[in-house]
Structure 1
Amino acid sequence: MGSLAFAFALPGALLLPELLEAALGLLGKDLTLTGRIPLWLLLIPLALERPLLGYGYGAFWLGESGPSATVWALTWDAPHAHNGFLDLWLEIGIVGAIFGALLLIIPLVRIALHVTSGLRLIKFIFLFFIFFLFANMAESVLLVSGLGKAIYWVLISYFVPASQLYLTPNRNSR
């Protein structure tokens, strides 16, 4: 049975990139995630130049007068990395990126342990955190300012304490 599945899976895996490229082409998209992958491939070596502490908050994306000039000369004028975690690494280094990731992952794990509790708010908060983590893989929301993206941080600053209120057992019910 396993070899039969492998016999069908192997040709499918070999054809998938071509089929995926054709399907994305119909939608006006491509396999590079609209230029993000080449951008990331240029940014990773720049992040490795200053791996621990990065270039400094707000010091990388300064256009032609900052380190982003290299990127702009080789690609399009990207205003950010289009990846929140890569932007964290560039601006505040791997130390800051790990700290930032932990600020999101620790509450996510705590909420995930109670997602089957039946509370709709807990389920919503869990899904919001999952969305926020995945959204930062294709967009930069973690360090970008402005009300449109700052709303995520407003929601997180509400959701973490709210979830703890709902998850903390009532001490008066003993």
Structure 2
Amino acid sequence: MEAQIPIFGLDKISSQNRLDFAEKVFTVFSLLFFMGVFGFGPEDSETGIIPSSVITLMRYGIYATTLLLLALRIKSTLKTALSNKWVLCLISFISISFLWSQDPSTTVDVVWKELIPMFLLSLYIASRFTIEQQFSLAIQSLLIAFFFSILLAIVMPSIAFHQTGDYAGSFRGAFGDKNRFGAIAATLLVTLFMLKNYAEKKQGWASAMLVFCFAILVISSSVTALVLSVASLLLVSLYQKFKWMGKKTILLVNLSILISMSFFYVIISRWIEILTFLGRDPTLSARTLIWNYVITTKIPPHLYFGYGKGAFWSSERLTSGFEHAAFHIPAHSHNGFLDLILEAGLIGFALFFVVWLVAYTRAVRLAYNFKKASYLWPSIFLSMMILFNLFESYLVLFPNINWVLFLSIALSLSQKPFCLRALG
């Protein structure tokens, strides 16, 4: 009997470890799914190599598993959900947009299949894992997606590289286009930089991966992702170098703002001359034409409530006019905030901004109080989210890992047991 007691204890510990490992594997798999890793396929094909029936099975499998895991921890689930009522207001408002949607059936379909599952996954991540664990799971997901894209380039180069159009030869990996891959690679690049410089334990492998990731990012030829990744790296350094305490810091902050404003003024006032000199299209691949048409023509008729979730860009009737204003009908507006306003109006955008602002304020406090990579992650991700959505749509398009991580961070930062208790 005496020999059986420690064995029973070890079995119990081992069982708990296996359960924890299984939940982490499920979370990483779910993040990869919403990242869009499983949708790879030829450019001229409407469906990927993996059959749509399998993708559907994955979606509902994640849906059901997430609901089960949340139900098993119902007390923690409710506590996490109620910790941030702004998030609930945002999700609720977008979910009921079918009431005024220009295409109610599409809105209901998108809300049911995409929006709700992503929110539930975010709720599960926030209620189950700490900020440190979330950072680790995000890195694992990004690394798997990155190496899978490299593997795809070796095994199926015709899929991993753009074959036609202006982007021919650009690397896109397992994603739909080079910019989407660039966003993933840029996010990985910044997380590796944080690991290399601010992890509690030295991560020797991060240095080599940092160089490799940067090289692949250059190959992808996504100028937007490359520029924004450099800006994000500077932001990481800035957050850790200065603390908002004392007169000297206040002076530095004001000087930084002045220099930044001057810099952007020069760019804006000499926009066309600078881009022409660099050999770039002054319309940013027709982005400025699209933005102008969206702001002046498409947003005003449904200013406050929008067209409904997923309704605008799926309707030929609603997208008519772009072929004349921007010389083609785009898949989205190439600006996440404009797309959010198109879907949920100014009310939806205001709710999003409140959620982001509250989360960002708490994230910055966390970053300035602890020199630790995982505690720096929320503020950097929220900053990158804003930067990346200036020229691409990573807020409302599906699949969308950015929305999942955004909501999980916002919900986590509302809970004192995870990280805010240390802030006082």
Name the TM tier (shorter chain): 0.7 to 0.9
Structure 1 Cα separation of the partners of residues 322 and 344 of structure 2: 18
Structure 2 Cα separation of the partners of residues 170 and 44 of structure 1: 41
Structure 2 Cα separation of the partners of residues 121 and 34 of structure 1: 36
- What is residue 309 of structure 2 aligned with on the other side? 57
Q: Deviations over 1:90-125 (max 9, x none)?
A: 111100111122222210111112321223212122
State yes or no: 1:144 paired with 2:397: yes
Q: Deviations over 1:5-38 (max 9, x none)?
A: xxxx9xxx5995465124430xxx2232221111
Name the amino acid aligned to 2:401: I
Structure 2 Cα separation of the partners of residues 18 and 145 of structure 1: 33
Structure 2 Cα separation of the partners of residues 19 and 42 of structure 1: 23
Structure 1 residue aligned with 2:332, among 73, 77, 80?
A: 80
Q: Structure 1 residues 161, 88: closer, same or farther in 2, change over 3 A?
A: closer
Structure 2 residue aligned with 1:94, among 339, 343, 346?
A: 346
Q: Structure 1 residues 113, 73: closer, same or farther in 2, change over 3 A?
A: same
3-state SS in 2 of match to 1:68 = coil
Which has the larger displacement, 96-105 or 71-80? Answer: 71-80
Structure 1 residue aligned with 2:380, among 103, 123, 127?
A: 127
Q: Structure 1 residues 73, 17: closer, same or farther in 2, change over 3 A?
A: closer
Name the amino acid aligned to 1:140: S
- What is residue 236 of structure 2 aligned with on the other side? none
State yes or no: 1:38 paired with 2:292: no
Could you say what the CA RMSD is over the residues aligned between the two structures, in angstroms? 2.6
**Contact preservation (8 Å) 2:276, 2:282:** no
Structure 1 residue aligned with 2:274, among 20, 24, 34?
A: 20
Q: Structure 1 residues 162, 57: closer, same or farther in 2, change over 3 A?
A: closer
Name the amino acid aligned to 2:402: Y
Name the amino acid aligned to 2:304: L
Please list every run of 5 or more consecutive structure 1 residues that lacks an aligned counterpart in the other structure: 1-8
Structure 2 residue aligned with 1:155, among 405, 409, 413?
A: 405
Structure 2 Cα separation of the partners of residues 17 and 137 of structure 1: 16
3-state SS in 1 of match to 2:278 = helix
3-state SS in 1 of match to 2:299 = helix
> How many residues matched?
153
Give the CA deviation at 1:87.
0.6
- What is residue 215 of structure 2 aligned with on the other side? none
Give the TM-score normalised by the residue count of structure 1.
0.76
The runs of at least 4 aligned residues of structure 1 exceeding 6 Å deviation read none
**Contact preservation (8 Å) 1:24, 1:31:** no
Give the CA deviation at 1:56.
1.4
- What is residue 238 of structure 2 aligned with on the other side? none
Q: Deviations over 1:126-149 (max 9, x none)?
A: 111100111111111111112xxx
Structure 2 Cα separation of the partners of residues 62 and 125 of structure 1: 33
Structure 2 Cα separation of the partners of residues 112 and 55 of structure 1: 34
- What is residue 322 of structure 2 aligned with on the other side? 71
Structure 1 Cα separation of the partners of residues 275 and 423 of structure 2: 54
Give the TM-score normalised by the residue count of structure 2.
0.33
**Contact preservation (8 Å) 1:63, 1:72:** no
Q: Structure 1 residues 122, 23: closer, same or farther in 2, change over 3 A?
A: farther
Which has the larger displacement, 125-134 or 112-121? Answer: 112-121
Structure 1 Cα separation of the partners of residues 272 and 303 of structure 2: 36
- What is residue 5 of structure 1 aligned with on the other side? none
- What is residue 130 of structure 2 aligned with on the other side? none
* Larger radius of gyration between Structure 1 and Structure 2: 2
Please list every run of 5 or more consecutive structure 2 residues that lacks an aligned counterpart in the other structure: 1-261
Structure 2 residue aligned with 1:105, among 337, 357, 363?
A: 357
Percent identical among aligned pairs is: 26
The higher-RCO structure (CA 8 Å, 6+ apart) is 2
Structure 2 Cα separation of the partners of residues 101 and 156 of structure 1: 12
